A and B are shown apart, each in its own frame.
Chain A
Amino acid sequence: MPKSDVLHGSLALMVLRILDTLGPQHGWGIARRIEQISGDVLELNQGTLYPALLRLEQMGWIASKWGSSENNRRARFYSITRAGKKQLAAEAENWEKIAEILGRFLKPSGDWS
């Protein structure tokens, strides 16, 4: 099965969600987590994550801080901000709505009358 592209907006949503549930993470951690959760179906070019992280930080939804990693290296840790949580809630609701609508369209025996 070919691996799907990661949609631009959905990448942001995934990042916010991961940081919300798992707490502060460094970039590689986030990338790994995305791949794991998607069951390795989604394999992004890991590099593209970083401009996305920067954009989220510029929007004020996540914050970053330098700290030391599990193997004691200098690493940058990202965490979700209050504004980020609000954004996540709004986006998640929005996403579910869209998913539900699309689901209705794509159900094999929908009400097409």
Chain B
Amino acid sequence: MMQNQFKNHSIILLHGVFAVDFFDQLKKKNSKEVFIMEGRPSLEAAQMNCRELLKHKITPTLISDNMAGFLFFKNLVKEVWVAYQVSDTDGAICDIGALILGVLGKRHSVPIYLSPSNRRTRFLGKEKELLSFKNKTVAPKGIRAYVPLVEWLPAEYITKIFTTKMDKSGEAYTIV
């Protein structure tokens, strides 16, 4: 346990921007601990997911994108849900950051579930999106930035992909 704050394997971790019906299903899980990754550079995942969770009367806990590993290391994560845009039997295109979660899930034997996103994003963001945060410059002038917004998550890191709703077996298929 982490300073008695959280029980082992109690946290559901969300990454990416999910379709709205995902939250109806999540609510049925009655989880007390739902953690949201902020989703740099746009923070859209943080904003959208927090708004939907609050609407569903779930109080989210926000973490920075670099804090997921800590939760895994302390055995606090029960399952991870990643929003995907396109999938096939080899894997899925997800918001950037999914691969780190896949690697963590594999190492710590934590399931990585994929649920549809409600949007399609560009593959690359603009440099200026990363050079500032909430409209404040964070990097020195002249610094270059590389801003991938999506990445390929291979099937070996995915436990299950859900197509529309997560609890109807006819609408879900397993690829690993």
Q: Are A and B physically bound partners?
A: no
